[in-house]
Amino acid sequence: MLTVEALEVSIQSVRVLRGVDLRVEPGRLAGLIGRNGAGKTTLLRTLIGVLAPRGGAITFEGRGLAGVPAHQRARLGIGYMPEDRRIIPQLTIEENLMLPAWAAGQGERGRERLARIYRLVPELEALKERKGLQLSGGQQKLAALARALMVGTKLLLLDEPFEGVAPVLARRLAEVIRSLRAEGVSAIVSESDLSPSRELLDVVYLIDRGAVTRTGAAA
């Protein structure tokens, strides 16, 4: 589904990604594991189109993504959950979830997608009228994952989904991510520690100083 080849990314004059190679098969969950500053967020932001690479190639379902802006990548079925959640505090949870559908002009199709997500994450439907600022950090993570699912019908890019989350909500997040396999959705799960996501992942890429240093099964 996704192939990354020899990806090079610099931010200002700092070379952050150094020839990264990575593959994600349909319906598979890949881990991107590395310490803070290793290049995980930079890679995900490049895949979604927020950052532009200096070299290398990104191919999604056989299509090269060079020059394809972020909003068009979302319309291809790629969803992004940022590490800091980016839940808009003044909007209700349902309004936060619907933002990607409104931006894509999905109309009724967006409402249908939202109903499907509520079936997948029913606790969010119970919270749908609450403002974003009224949610705990863990609940915001769950909402951010659901928002990514609004457009991420094929591939999800999840940046530190388990970071700072209480164990009970971490288990719930893991359940939701695991259930995506049944829908054929692939995901890249970025974490600084393998422990929270080890049982979820099919393959793990270890990244250090902007380069993939090891690849293998999570075990």
Q: CB-hemisphere CA count at 13 Å for 35? A: 3
Among 63-67, 125-129, 177-181, which stretch is predicted with the lowest mean pLDDT?
177-181
Distance from C-alpha of 16 to C-alpha of 13, rounded to nearest angstrom:
9
| Domain locations along the chain | 2-216
Q: Would the pLDDT of 118 be above 90?
A: yes
Nearest-5° Cα angle at 117, 111 to 118: 90
Least confident of 50-59, 77-86, 201-210: 77-86
Distance CA 114, CA 92 (A): 14
pLDDT score at 198: 87
What are the backbone dihedrals phi and psi of residue 162, each rounded to the nearest 5 degrees, phi first? -100, -5
pLDDT at 29: 95
Tell me the C-alpha distance between 190 and 34, whole Å.
8
Summary mean pLDDT of the chain: 92
The percent of residues in the chain predicted with pLDDT above 70, rounded, is 100
Instruction: Summarize the confidence of residues 120-141 as an average pLDDT.
Output: 91
**pLDDT 10s digits, 73-102:** 999 999 999 998 899 999 999 999 999 888
For residues 70 and 79, is the Cβ–Cβ distance under 8 A?
A: no
- Return the CATH number of 2-216, one of 2.60.120.650, 3.40.50.720, 3.20.130.10, 3.40.50.300: 3.40.50.300
Which one is predicted more confidently, 40 or 138? 40
pTM (two decimals): 0.93
Q: Looking at residue 197, what is its pLDDT?
A: 87
Q: Is the pLDDT of residue 185 over 90?
A: yes
pLDDT of residue 81: 94
